[in-house]
Amino acid sequence: MSHAVELRGIVKRFGTFVANDCVDLVVKAGEIHAIVGENGAGKTTLMNVLFGLLQPDGGEILIDGKPIVVANPRAAIAAGLGMVHQHFKLVPSLTVAENVFLGMERGRAGFVDHKAQIAETERLSRDFGLKVDPTEQVGLLSVGIEQRIEILKVLARGARIIILDEPTAVLTPQESRELFQTLRGFVAQGMTVIFITHHLEEVMAVSDTVTVLRLGRKVDTRPTADVTKNDLVQMMVGRSVSFDRRQREPSTGGTVLSVKDLWCRDDRGLPAVRGVSFDVRAGEVVGIAGVAGNGQTELAEVLSGLRPASHGTFRIHGEDLTAASPRRIRDTGVAHVPGDRVVRGVDRQSSIAANILMGRQDTPPWARGSLIDWAVVRERSSEMMERFDVRASGPDALVKSLSGGNMQKVVLAREFSHDADFLLVDQPTRGVDIGATESIHNEIMRQRADGRAILLISVQLDELIALADRILVMFNGLIMGELPGDSVSEEALGLLMAGVQTGPDRAAVA
């Protein structure tokens, strides 16, 4: 088998920090090659070098056996590479088809030929089983669909070697399975796939070969068939990690959050949450499961004051906050880890310290009077970075220079350190490595033990099963049923998530 990609001794430094330290990588043509490693191990950096987004400080790149200089993504695309980034780069105000052809518009005589673009998007979408509506505006779509568009973009540019950076981080198990189907389709047609993931079961399930990176160096490349999940964990973090259900005391606290017949609309004005009611008690983790796009995100936004409710109420400690501002809700004791960290969770242009300050800029000791005490902010930020294992040069590092997982940890550090009675946690371990996932899970359990009420929204069923006391399943804006966390099967959850009713007292919802 020939080599689709060969990297020899790639070195990439940021200042004095070495993100890739003499990395060799061989990807054979027609294989699915997984790359794993902790947050900040240098996976994204390595792929950015390959794709011409970063210039290496040393080393060589060979595509199809020929050495080339990848001066920019254009050169990479010309060489047959395509990349779907960890954070999407779509233009929200344009349609799907316009995004797919952005920068390479199909046109006649200087005019964009929208018809042709739509037709071609439809064709690609059909051929590769990536369902989209080419005429829809991207800003209104869910992340799952945005990813399909990113893949279509790559395909439209004629890529034969496709790089996906944590493609499954934003997907539901169902969507992930579909994606893998698509990826297998690609290799069946002779293409080559490189993908980065933190989910080892995905590595085991779809990849032919796996490479482990650690602290900027390559640990090893192995045929997937020759390794076990535990081997990989050992290679990545140097110890074993467990994701079994956490032991716990039964919760006994009073009701903190009480939601009654809550409704809201999505960005298009259609009902997204359609009359949900539930309580969350102190010292309890209530999980919300569901395929992405069934109202979970909108529910979280209503509960944090970012989206108006169209009907119903929610109370915290008995206080009606349905029409309250985000500020007021925060002041009542709510912390919120948002589902989309790049849009809501951080300001990428600011430092870690400035990100951690958000929400406390009026509160002593962070601020004295109306003046911010940056010395305190830095000091506290450093402490939190240590506690949450944020790997960066210091509190002044810009968030945009962080790896995806570390960005997420900054969000968690900020929100979990608020003295909040109610934690609204949306996809807390999205893009986080297994070692850090374990410590985030520990942190959530610690918060639970401290008597906080926690609403955990996740598309990761194993995460819900490991953490939740009760699991509510959302489908189409409704709560389809409630399952106890300690005796739930993925099958039962899966049925509810698909909209199939199980309780005898409920009418079926199609």
**Number of chain positions touching ligand ATP (CB under 6 A):** 21
Interacting partner of 402 out of Mg ion, other proteins, ligand ATP, none (Cβ under 5 to 8 A depending on kind): ligand ATP
Considering only CA atoms, which of 365, 231, 108, 315 is closest in space to residue 324? Answer: 315
Stretch of residues binding ligand ATP (CB under 6 A), selected from 1-9, 13-21, 136-144, 235-243: 13-21
CA distance 507 to 510: 10
Q: Is the peptide bond before 250 cis (omega within 30 degrees of 0)?
A: no
Task: Show the site string, 64-83: x = touches other proteins by CB under 8 A, - = not.
Answer: --------------------
* C-alpha pair distances (Å), 302 with each of 195, 263, 332: 35, 9, 15
CB of 415 to ligand ATP, least distance (A): 18
What DSSP string describes 36-65? EE-TTSSHHHHHHHHTTSS--SEEEEEETT
Nearer to other proteins, 68 or 372 (CB): 372
Locate tokens 């099967």: which residue? 489
Where does residue 45 rank: exposed (0-12), middle (13-18), buried (19+ CB within 10 A)?
Answer: buried
Can you tell me the distance from the alpha carbon of 276 to that of 474, in angstroms, rounded to the nearest whole number?
9
Question: DSSP code of 398?
Answer: B
DSSP for 462-496, written as a single string: HHHHHH-SEEEEEETTEEEEEEEGGG--HHHHHHH
First to last CA, the chain: 49
**Residue 39 in the binding site for ligand ATP (CB under 6 A):** yes
Interatomic CA distance for residues 52 and 69, integer angstroms:
8
Residue 45 makes contact with ligand ATP by CB under 6 A: yes
**Cβ closer to ligand ATP: 235 or 473?**
235
Judge whether 138 and 92 are in contact, CB under 8 Å: yes
Contact 31, 208 (CB under 8 A): yes
Closest distance of CB 171 from Mg ion, Å:
16
Residues in the chain: 510
Task: Work out which of 31, 34, 36, 37 binds ligand ATP, going by CB under 6 A.
Answer: 37
Question: Nearer to ligand ATP by C-beta: 125 or 176?
Answer: 176
Q: Nearer to other proteins by C-beta: 35 or 354? A: 354
- Residues of this chain, 354-373, that bind other proteins according to CB under 8 A: 354, 357-359, 361-362, 367, 370-372
389-448 residues in contact with other proteins (CB under 8 A) are: 398, 400
Cβ–Cβ under 8 Å, residues 236 and 212: yes
Which residue among 293, 405, 428, 481 contacts ligand ATP (CB under 6 A)?
405
Closer by beta carbon to ligand ATP, 35 or else 259: 35
> C-beta of 86: minimal distance to Mg ion in Å?
5
Contact between residue 23 and residue 48 where contact means Cβ atoms under 8 Å apart: no
Per rule CB under 6 A, is residue 297 in the interface with ligand ATP? no
| Contact partner at residue 347 from Mg ion, ligand ATP, other proteins, none, CB < 5 to 8 Å by partner kind | other proteins
Instruction: Give how many residues touch other proteins by CB under 8 A.
Output: 37
Per CB under 6 A, 142 contacts ligand ATP: no
Judged by beta carbon, residue 135 or residue 363, the one nearer other proteins is: 363
Distance (Å, rounded) from C-alpha 118 to C-alpha 124? 10
Among ligand ATP, other proteins, Mg ion, none, residue 346 binds (CB under 5-8 Å by kind):
other proteins
Q: Of residues 69, 71, 91, 509, which one binds other proteins by CB under 8 A?
A: 91
14 is an interface residue for ligand ATP by CB under 6 A? yes
Report the alpha-carbon distance of residue 451 to residue 454 in Å, rounded: 9
Structure tokens at 154: 């790559």
Under rule CB under 6 A, residue 392 binds ligand ATP: yes
Within 34-172, residue ranges assigned H as helices are 43-50, 73-78, 96-100, 114-127, 143-156
Residues 288-347 binding other proteins (CB under 8 A) are: 304, 306, 325-327, 330-331, 336, 338, 342-347
Extract the tokens encoding 264.
């809201």
44 makes contact with ligand ATP (CB under 6 A): yes
Segment contacting ligand ATP by CB under 6 A, of 14-22, 93-101, 112-120, 352-360: 14-22
355 touches ligand ATP by CB under 6 A:
no
Q: Report whether 92 contacts 124 (CB < 8 A).
A: no
Shortest spacing between CB 146 and ligand ATP, in angstroms: 18
**How distant is the alpha carbon of residue 104 from its chain centre?**
28
Q: Does 235 bind ligand ATP (CB under 6 A)?
A: no
Asked if residue 429 binds ligand ATP (CB under 6 A), the reply is no
Compute the distance between CA of residue 190 and CA of residue 162 in angstroms, rounded to an integer. Answer: 11
| Closer by beta carbon to ligand ATP, 283 or else 404 | 404
Six token digits for residue 151: 């893949």
89 binds other proteins (CB under 8 A): yes
Per CB under 6 A, the segment of 41-49, 328-336, 475-483, 499-507 that binds ligand ATP is: 41-49
- The 8-class DSSP code of residue 377 comes to H
Shortest reach from residue 335's CB to other proteins, in Å: 11
CB atoms near residue 336 (< 10 Å): 27
Q: Kindly list the residues in this chain that would bind Mg ion in the complex (CB under 5 A).
A: 44, 86, 403-404
Binding of other proteins at residue 55 (CB under 8 A)? no
Q: What is the dihedral of CA 279, 475, 457, 445, to 10 degrees?
A: 60
Binding site for ligand ATP (CB under 6 A): 14, 17, 19, 37, 39-45, 86, 391-392, 401-406, 433
Binding site for other proteins (CB under 8 A): 87, 89-93, 304, 306, 325-327, 330-331, 336, 338, 342-350, 354, 357-359, 361-362, 367, 370-372, 374, 398, 400
